Amino acid sequence: MNTICPVCNGFADLRAACPTCKREAEDGGRLGDYYDPYSAYRPIDDVRLTNGYPDVEARECLHRAYCANCDAAFVAAVPESEG
């Protein structure tokens, strides 16, 4: 079954509340793009199988989120939809 991330594909905006101050956070892009200088060029599924998160089984796309209010960075899981 193929799934896609609605945020990565521009169908929706990231909606994530900061765990520290509860304000809305900004999307920083896919978490896997931050692992090393070449991770953005690796196949997405390859990165997902080695990132240490259960995102493949949960059918989630992990994004780096940033809160401009309190300067917190955290991981936000976006549910994927069938594509």
- Note the pTM of the prediction, 2 decimals: 0.84
* SS3 of residue 57 by DSSP: helix
AA letter at 51: N
- Residue 42 structure tokens: 């690796």
pLDDT category at 1 given cuts 50, 70, 90 is low
Q: Identify whether the C-beta of residue 65 lies closer than 8 Å to the C-beta of residue 49.
A: no
Query: Per residue in 53-77, pLDDT tens?
Result: 888 888 999 999 999 999 999 999 9
Question: Residue 76 in 3-state DSSP?
Answer: strand
Contact by Cβ (8 Å): 47, 35? yes
Under 8 Å between Cβ of 3 and 79: no
